[in-house]
A = this chain, B = another copy of it.
Amino acid sequence: MTRWLDEEQQRAWRAYLGAVARLHAGLDAQLQADAGMPHGYYELLVRLSESPDRRMRMSALADAAASSRSRLSHAVAQLEGRGWVRREPCPEDRRGQIAVLTDEGFAALAAAAPGHVEEVRRLLVDKLTPEQMRQLREISEAILTDG
């Protein structure tokens, strides 16, 4: 016998689904149109750009971007094809690969960032109060706790 969601939970859940759909659709469309990359790729470039020497072990990058290894492999292959990332062997582990953000990749990120941030503001930040932004962070962190 299932414990269904009550009225309030149902409303919250559906509103959440709608909000996420709109946000993702908007962000992805903007990035695709203005920078020619999906949001997932943008995330990867961001993580790499913030790492020392703009380089990261594949597995570390996968963890940082909440991506599966398979997905990362495919994505990096794409990014490498565009000249935005290159791969280097890992000195201390011959299994390893290191993804390095190229200058072209950094330039692409720098070109894409302002429009993206603008869109994040337009679709999210500007619609919430600072208090709600804090609540959103706490809710998100609660969801990210294990168990």
Contacts from A to B (Cβ < 8 Å): 2-5, 8-9, 11-13, 15-24, 43, 66, 113-114, 117-118, 120-121, 123-125, 127-128, 130, 132-145
Contact = CB atoms under 8 A, between A and B. Distances in A.
Contacts of A20: 20, 24
A140 B8 CA distance: 13
What secondary structure prevails in chain A residues at the interface with B? helix
Contacts of A138: 132
Contacts of A12: 133-134, 136-137, 140
Contacts of A130: 8
8 pairs of A and B residues whose beta carbons are closest in the complex: A15-B140, A12-B137, A19-B140, A19-B143, A2-B114, A21-B66, A135-B135, A16-B140
A123 to B, nearest CB: 7
A95 B132 CA distance: 44
A8 B131 CA distance: 11
Nearest to A11: B137
Contacts of A22: 66, 143-144
A138 B15 CA distance: 8
